[in-house]
Chains A and B, each alone.
Chain A
Amino acid sequence: MARSLSPRRKMMMTLSAWTVALIIFFPVLWMILTSFKTEVSAVASPPQLFTADWTLDNYAEVWARSDYPRFFWNSVVISVGSTLLGLAIAIPAAWAMAFVPGKRTKDLLMWMLSTKMMPAVAVMIPIYLIFLRTGLIDTRIGLVIALMLMNLPIIIWMLYTYFKEIPAEILEASRMDGASLWGEIVYVLTPMALPGIASTCLLNIILAWNEAFWTIVLTTTKAAPLSAFIASFSAPQGLFYAKLSAASAMAIMPILILGWFSQKQLVRGLTFGAVK
């Protein structure tokens, strides 16, 4: 509903919108700036936006003191793995709900979503014990499974809303053209829903990357991703602000950049089909 404004009003609107946006963004910016300061200037009072003695030492020290590549790689494997596994289970389910809806379809979707409302803490001990006994504790595959299950309802819901936008006639046409169910899904549905599948993927990678409960509960060292890395870093405190900031930046940067590039598709997917 964008409408034209007089240049003066446009200027004012631009200024106020940018002010608000910068305030929202400021903590992230401040963290990034702090990560390049020495520990002394990081706590300087009054705070300095920029310092003369900027340095990369904090990053070097965090890198040296921790096994960042391993945490990073664990994060990648766990978030991408759980998303792909989730898609493999969710695509058929979303196909069924979108194109062969029954009276119970909506209830089923709501039930799936409601499983996400179950407080994770409530089942923390049982799941910890199950993982311990099955040897899944502190393994990447264990976290892939756990996070896939955490996010499965969201994946199904998002795919469902995307699939529903595809006209059923096109799938019927493929059936008339001799496609089997497999052909229908592989050659017609999936390529047509590719933008939707991509933004579902992105959101779930982000959710999995940022998950900080199960990743901490279910890992110790081997499979710990970046969320566990940062939790271990903030624990000793000691007021190493610059180093804490550097570690934080290293933990969030990959996903922040991915998110920046894909924010358009992401927001569209986040509306869950309720906003066109």
Chain B
Amino acid sequence: MATQSSRLAARLMVAPSVIVLLVWMAIPLAMAIYYSFRLYRLISPERTGWVGFRNYTWFINSPEFWMAISNTLLLVGGVLAITIVFGTLIALLIDQPIWGQGPLRILVISPFFVMPPVAASIWENLFMHPQNGMFASFAQGLGMKPILFMESYPMASVIFIVAWEWLPFATLILLTALQSLSSEQLEAAEMDGASAVSRFRYIILPHMTRAITVVILIQTIFLLGIFGEIFTTTQGGPGSASTTLPYMIFKQAIAAKDIGRAAAGGIIAVILANIVAYFLMRGIGRHLDA
């Protein structure tokens, strides 16, 4: 489909993108690998040297590590599940011939435009705060004790906030997919005697597979690195109850000032992210139009 000269031109034109991304990845990664085998603490910068895999073994043997892994997976899985299920339901609702669909879409998409620190601080302060938050007021109004969201249910609170941020994305993509479904198909199914549930199961859901794929892929990319929301709200606590892998690395680097350990954690995170990426790309990448 092309000539040799255009193939050559194509290589030249892809090259800048590939090179800058490669550099952006490779150099910091190489430095991180180097530090991960070094003793490098900002508290005692005079003590340096090679420590072998000690930074790695510390990281993996730390009880916080497995907590962090499970919290990370919980965050990604929880947000994906909430946004896809509710996104589908809301998309089905909005797709009905209702009044004011335009303004309604504007309301629904709004959380997507709110930057993560603001989203987290609105929820933490205006809603979930145990004294002054709106939820606390309601609880008091009902004669109940206010829920200590960030203390008692830190992970659930973080998942809830992040899901709120990503719900518009899922909803609107799924809505776009729904709107591209021809009504003739549904009418044909109705003529064939399919109930509303089987119409959803056999016609609407298969039609939305690609859209769901996109939602999973894009959200996973962003969710794996979630940081700001935790930083603003729970700071990984109480204890390590809401510490994710990125946050654990951050704590090592900033709070413990142990660059070596943080780098080792970073490399572990990169390896895990690559494993996730591999399965994600293999599993659902083929659905994408590439």
- In the bound complex, how far is the Cα of B267 from the Cα of A118, in angstroms? 10
B113 and A256 within 8 A (CB): yes
Chain A residues within 8 Å of B167, by CB: 24
Indicate if B35 sits at the interface (CB-CB under 8 A). yes
Chain A residues within 8 Å of B152, by CB: none
- In the bound complex, how far is the Cα of B6 from the Cα of A29, in angstroms? 53
B112 and A259 within 8 A (CB): yes
A93 and B13 within 8 A (CB): yes
Q: Per a CB cutoff under 8 Å, which of B13, B31, B35, B94 touches A92? A: B13
Chain B residues within 8 Å of A108, by CB: 14, 18
Chain A residues within 8 Å of B48, by CB: none
Residue of A22, A102, A234 with most chain B CB atoms under a 10 A cut-off = A234
Indicate if A125 sits at the interface (CB-CB under 8 A). yes
Indicate if A110 sits at the interface (CB-CB under 8 A). yes
Chain A residues within 8 Å of B25, by CB: 115, 118
- In the bound complex, how far is the Cα of B110 from the Cα of A34, in angstroms? 17
B81 CB, nearest partner CB in chain A, Å: 17
The interface stretch among A41-49, A57-65, A66-74, A136-144 is A41-49
B121 and A248 within 8 A (CB): yes
- In the bound complex, how far is the Cα of B172 from the Cα of A43, in angstroms? 34
Q: Could you mark each residue 182-198 of chain B with 1 if its beta carbon is under 8 Å from any beta carbon of chain A, else 0?
A: 11011100000000000
A271 and B176 within 8 A (CB): yes
Given contacts A28-B111, A34-B126, contact A230 B97 (CB under 8 A): no
A17 and B113 within 8 A (CB): no
A112 and B97 within 8 A (CB): no
Indicate if B141 sits at the interface (CB-CB under 8 A). yes
A23 CB, nearest partner CB in chain B, Å: 10
**Chain B contact residues, CB within 8 Å of chain A:** 1-2, 6-7, 9-11, 13-14, 16-18, 20-21, 24-25, 27-29, 31-32, 35, 90, 93-100, 104-119, 121-123, 125-127, 131-132, 134, 136-138, 140-141, 164, 167-169, 172-173, 175-183, 185-187, 204, 210-211, 213-214, 217-218, 220-221, 224-225, 227-228, 232, 245-247, 249-250, 253, 259, 262-263, 265-267, 269-270, 273-274, 276-277, 281, 285, 287-290
27 A-B pairs in the complex with CB atoms less than 8 angstroms apart: A14-B99, A17-B93, A20-B90, A21-B94, A34-B126, A43-B132, A93-B13, A95-B13, A100-B2, A102-B7, A106-B285, A109-B290, A117-B277, A119-B249, A119-B270, A125-B31, A152-B17, A212-B116, A230-B121, A239-B132, A252-B115, A263-B105, A266-B109, A271-B176, A271-B214, A274-B214, A274-B287
7 tightest A-B CB contacts, nearest first:
A122-B266, A92-B13, A96-B10, A126-B31, A123-B28, A100-B10, A126-B28
**Chain A contact residues, CB within 8 Å of chain B:** 1-5, 10, 13-14, 16-18, 20-22, 24-25, 27-28, 30-31, 34, 43, 45-47, 89-90, 92-93, 95-97, 99-102, 105-106, 108-110, 112-127, 129-130, 149, 152-153, 156, 160-161, 164, 168, 181, 206, 209-213, 226-227, 230-231, 234, 239, 241, 244-245, 248, 251-252, 255-256, 258-260, 263, 266-268, 270-276
